[in-house]
Amino acid sequence: MKSINMHRFLMMSLALGLMACDLVTPSPTIAPPLTPPAQTQVPLSAQVTLSFVSFKEESQSPTYSINAQIPKLIGSEDARVRALNKQVNDLIQQEIEYFRENIIRHMPLTPLSNGSFFEAQYTLVFQSGDLWSFKFNFTGYADGAAHPYHYSTTLNYDLEQGGKLSFDQLFLPDANYLEVISSYCIAELSKRDIGFYAGFEQGAEPIAENYRNWNISNEGLMITFDEYQVAPYAAGPQIVIVPYPVLAKVVDPQGPLGRFIR
């Protein structure tokens, strides 16, 4: 009888031991979740392509034609892209409207020659990262005039910030940047056979209006002087590129031109 009880005791002990093993089975090792790769945001300027829209208008009474190329960024509906496209379109349409109001309205219905015309073209002078620098060239002719007239305007734009750059944003606060730029331009213009010292010196004096047409370029700050500003009509418009080393002491290193002086 004792041997039977001992056998039962051994069997129960074995069963309890197996149960205990089941209860303390270790949890399986769980691998940590995989970290997804970081998403690299594509800069806005890399999402767009520069195209253009053609504008054309003609009339026979009075006789005139208007032709324009209007640059347009495509590839994104971002509000900053739309704002730049609108600003460029408005700029050119304003010049076209000026031609209509100040030239066409005063033209006779019977043309004196081949009629009047107005043309608008553009050049992308510089684009890198978020900076876009456009130059717009305009040519107009009033029926019966001796020759056409030409002038230009510029637009420098920070697409990432969504705004037009002003000249003073390029330089350190209170820097005498106009004097530095003017001195360089006068020295360069005086070397040219354009009649600069025949009463045109004031067109290069260090005042903001004289330096309204500027563009960022790879070589330096490009200044455009329209015809009659620093030379007679026959000499045409004059372009001076002020090298970045010349501007190093007045450029804001944290501003748009900082990349060129580091």
What digits encode the pLDDT tens for the residues 108-127? 888 888 899 999 999 999 99
pLDDT at 262: 84
Q: What is the mean pLDDT of the chain?
A: 88
Which residue would you say has higher pLDDT here, 29 or 200?
200
Sheet of 220-225, strands arranged across: 214-216, 220-225, 238-243
- Reported as a pLDDT band with limits 50, 70 and 90, residue 252 is very high
Residue 171 is classified by DSSP as: B
Q: Omega of the bond prior to 62 within 30 degrees of 0, cis?
A: yes
Q: CA 243, 126, 78 angle in degrees (round to 5)?
A: 140
**Helix H segments across 69-118?**
79-102
pLDDT at 20: 41
Residue 259 pLDDT more than 90? Answer: yes
- Reported as a pLDDT band with limits 50, 70 and 90, residue 40 is low
Q: Which residues contact 55 (CB under 8 A, 6 or more apart)?
A: 66, 67, 68, 69, 70, 92, 96, 120
Closest CA to 225 of 212, 244, 243: 212
Query: Can you count the helices (H) and strands (E) in the chain?
Result: 5, 9
Residue 25 pLDDT more than 70? Answer: no
pLDDT at 13: 46
Q: Which of 38-42, 134-138, 147-151, 177-181 has the lowest mean pLDDT?
A: 38-42
Could you give the CA distance from residue 73 to residue 120 in angstroms, rounded to a whole number?
A: 18
Residue 14 pLDDT more than 70? Answer: no
- Reported as a pLDDT band with limits 50, 70 and 90, residue 41 is confident
Q: Is 169 strand, coil or helix?
A: helix
pLDDT at 3: 43
**How much of the chain exceeds pLDDT 70, in percent?**
85
Query: Residue 134 to residues 21, 137, 153, 164, 243: CA-CA distances in angstroms?
Result: 80, 10, 9, 11, 19
